[in-house]
């Protein structure tokens, strides 16, 4: 098992593509925080859509079929 102990972290080595990926992730993280601060309503709406669609997909895998508007009201706890 890998550890986050300082000695174990000091042994980690990354190649150039891995470092580039980490840098890109850091840049996107800062952009994400800016978007959260500027458009919380948009993100809230997107989150609700994602939860409904995820629930629908999960139910479908289990063989449960629910009418879309009914599922949405159940997920949003309106029912």
Domain residue spans of the chain: 15-75
- 50 CB-side CA count, 13 A: 6
Residues in the chain, how many?
A: 79
CA 23/CA 49 separation, integer angstroms: 30
Show the tokens assigned to 49. Answer: 């859509």
Show the tokens assigned to 23. Answer: 């840098």
pLDDT in tens, 17-40: 999 999 998 888 878 878 778 888
Residue 65 sits at φ, ψ, to 5 deg, of: -115, 125
| Mean pLDDT of all residues belonging to the chain | 85
pLDDT at 52 over 80: yes
pTM, whole model, 2 decimals?
0.51
């Amino acid at each position: 098992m890998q550890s986050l102990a300082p000695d174990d972290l000091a042994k980690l080595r990354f190649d150039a593509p891995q470092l580039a990926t980490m840098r890109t992730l850091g840049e996107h993280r800062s952009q994400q925080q800016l978007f959260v601060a500027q458009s919380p309503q948009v993100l809230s709406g997107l989150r609700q859509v994602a939860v409904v669609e995820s629930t629908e997909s999960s139910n479908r895998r289990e063989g449960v079929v629910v009418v879309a508007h009914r599922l949405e009201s159940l997920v949003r706890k309106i029912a």
